[in-house]
Amino acid sequence: LIKKCLSPQDYKGQKLAEQIFQGIILVSAVIGFIYGYITEQFGWTVYIVMAGFALSCLLTLPPWPMYRRNPLKWLPVQESGTEEKKSADRKPKRHAKS
């Protein structure tokens, strides 16, 4: 259970996390700018953007299960004996002289 909770995000999960992060930052920036413009207080703009950043970090940094739905298919483990035979059968490459 612990290993499953701490497994990293897959590639599609990384893309989803990036889209969520950018969307929240963009929306909070627009809302913050409009609200700061209306109230004529630049501080509110900064606070709203910082709140959006904190929310996006909370939603995208931990490896939530929605980011781990498409795990990678790894190749099976090969025995070390077959690896040594393959490397011994290879001829050394000769580089062309320049």
Task: Tell me the mean pLDDT per 10 residues along the chain, length 98.
Answer: 64 92 97 96 96 96 87 82 58 66
Evaluate if pTM is beyond 0.85.
Answer: no
The whole-number pLDDT of residue 57 equals: 95
| Count of domains for the chain | 1
Residue 48 near residue 28 (C-beta atoms within 8 A) = yes
**Domain with 18 in it:** 9-64
Q: What angle do CA 10, 62, 51 make, to 5 degrees?
A: 125
Is 31 a domain residue? yes
Is 14 a domain residue? yes
Cα distance between residue 14 and residue 71, in whole Å: 12
Is 28 a domain residue? yes
Is 86 a domain residue? no
Which amino acid belongs to residue 32? G
Is 92 a domain residue? no
Cα distance between residue 83 and residue 88, in whole Å: 9
